[in-house]
Amino acid sequence: MRLIGIDWGTSSFRAFRFAEDGSLLATHSAARGILTVEGGKFAEALQGEIGSWLDGSPLLLSGMIGSRQGWIEAPYCPAPAGADEIAAACIDLPGFSGHIVPGVSTVRPDVMRGEETQILGTGIQDGLICTPGTHSKWVRVVGGRIVDFATHMTGELYAVLRQHSILGRLMEGDGEDEGAFLAGVATAKADPALGRTLFTARSYGLFEKVPASGLASYLSGLLIGTEIASEPGDGPVYLIATPALTKRYQAGLSVFGRTAQSIDGADAAAKGLWAIGQRLYGREG
């Protein structure tokens, strides 16, 4: 089989063209997330990005493209979920030969879309995986299956507090201040009650314990530290993140005496799409 895999999220579009042995023939990425596609014209957007690749190979799409705001809604696959369960829950892609990968849900309830494919692509059989970002996921994998996860609104909390709350008023700029960041992590380690510690991002400024130029880093450290404090574990944390976020989470984890291993997100997405594609199309090939 050949395969075209697409990780289509809220803000980005990443496509992978696979050879029959699973090696990558080509990749393409663009700032063409589902939020940029108007009037439901996803087929047209797909043609515009990778029209030249379309040769009858099946298309496999993961991410928010399968949400209510995307092309067509793929109902969540309940955890525990591995490649077999997720492949069995894929739905047909309208108008093309191919499928949309569902997200995964827990009974909490909690939901993910896109991360499940990356997680399968890591090949990790047992471990704790973190995908930091607007909505960070902390995912527990046992026997190669996603058994549980929790979403932390860390990135979004940072953004709304930075822009819209009283905390932002004392802050000057968003420059990196490692000392201030680590001070925020330390506050979270000493007291995991975020509602109560958040105000220190103001009082530390009022008392000049942290300079105004470092208060944004302090808030970031406080939020990331609180996230780490509420997801205990023994082994390394596998991080699927941008280099900047990987650096912050590594620094935060080290305050808790924990280690991290960095995993490339695009590579994980490609491998996950291939793994699911093999189950859907491999036996026919």
Cα–Cα dist 255/250, whole Å = 9
C-beta closer to its own copies: residue 28 or 135: 135
C-beta closer to its own copies: residue 209 or 279: 209
108 is an interface residue for its own copies by CB under 8 A: yes
155 is an interface residue for its own copies by CB under 8 A: no
C-beta closer to its own copies: residue 99 or 137: 137
The interface mask with its own copies, positions 230-249, x = CB under 8 A, is xx------------------
Rule CB under 8 A: choose which of 24, 91, 153, 266 binds its own copies: 153
Tokens 């949309």 belong to 100
Stretch that binds its own copies, among 26-34, 78-86, 107-115, 246-254 (CB under 8 A): 107-115
Cα–Cα dist 175/173, whole Å = 6
193 is an interface residue for its own copies by CB under 8 A: yes
Residue 110's nearest CA partner among 141, 68, 76 is 76
**CB-CB neighbours of 191 under 10 Å:** 15
- Give the rounded distance of the alpha carbon of 158 from its chain centre: 16
220 is an interface residue for its own copies by CB under 8 A: no
C-beta closer to its own copies: residue 7 or 231: 231
Cα–Cα dist 132/157, whole Å = 13
186 is an interface residue for its own copies by CB under 8 A: no
Closest separation between CB of residue 153 and its own copies, Å? 5
Residue 59's nearest CA partner among 24, 105, 111, 7 is 7
Closest separation between CB of residue 72 and its own copies, Å? 17
Stretch that binds its own copies, among 17-25, 78-86, 160-168, 244-252 (CB under 8 A): 160-168
**What spatial distance separates the first Cα and last Cα of the chain, rounded to whole Å?**
5
Closest separation between CB of residue 166 and its own copies, Å? 6
The helix (run of H) or strand (run of E) holding residue 105 is: strand 104-106
Cα–Cα dist 140/146, whole Å = 6
Q: Which residues contact 148 (CB under 8 A, 6 or more apart)?
A: 79, 106, 139, 140
Footprint of its own copies (CB under 8 A):
105, 108-111, 135, 150-154, 156-157, 160-161, 163-167, 192-196, 198-200, 203-204, 206-207, 209, 223, 226-227, 229-231
